[in-house]
Amino acid sequence: MPALPIRAALRSDGVFLADMAAEAANWRAGAARPRHEIISSPDYRRYIAGWMRPGDAGFVAEAPGAEPVGAAWYRMLPRDEPGFGWVGTGVPELIIGVRPVWRAHGVGRALLRRLADHARGEGYARLSLSVERDNYAVSLYRSEGFAVVRRGIGRDVMVKRLG
């Protein structure tokens, strides 16, 4: 499959990022929670509310016809409102979601690489994320240099050094 165009996320992509946060939460087939339930939850709202705050960055992959099919973005979350993958002040936390039909076609990998390159260019030394231990994306993250730094109940925090 040819590589899809990837563009910088815009302020107007907030609704799509919410869709991708729901896709990320609903990665397990047959266990889908309603979108509104996910994005209204404080656990997920922190990743999308007020999109394009200072420090936010992201990228969107588009299918032919400019239909968005996946996104990867990061946020700088404060110590008093940490995300699932928070490891420290000054470490952006990554969120990634891809529409199911586009998974396993390299879209997530391309988005992840683009976001890591951007973060490196912005001077960040690390990126963090959280992933459920049985999520098939764990192998993608490992292959892209992420390593487990903290184990939790059913989910792990992973970090990629950008040096």
Residue 2 confidence (pLDDT): 58
pLDDT tens figures, 51-97: 999 999 999 999 988 899 999 999 999 999 999 999 999 999 999 99
Q: If 0-12 CB within 10 Å is exposed, 13-18 middle and 19+ buried, where does residue 162 land?
A: middle
Residue 36 pLDDT greater than 90, yes or no: no
What is the residue extent of each domain of the chain?
6-161
Closest CA to 3 of 122, 108, 160, 153: 108
What CA–CA distance (Å, rounded) separates 130 from 128? 7
Mind listing the pLDDT tens digit for each residue in 4-29? 899 999 999 999 999 999 999 988 77
Q: Is 58 exposed, middle or buried (0-12, 13-18, 19+ CB in 10 A)?
A: buried
Predicted confidence band of residue 1 (pLDDT cuts 50, 70, 90): low
Name residue 107's beta-bridge partners.
none
**Order of strands across the sheet that contains 57-63:** 6-8, 57-63, 67-75, 93-98, 126-132, 155-161, 146-151
pTM: 0.93
| Of the options 3.50.50.60, 2.60.120.200, 3.40.50.720, 3.40.630.30, the CATH number for the domain spanning 6-161 | 3.40.630.30
Q: What is the pLDDT of residue 35?
A: 85
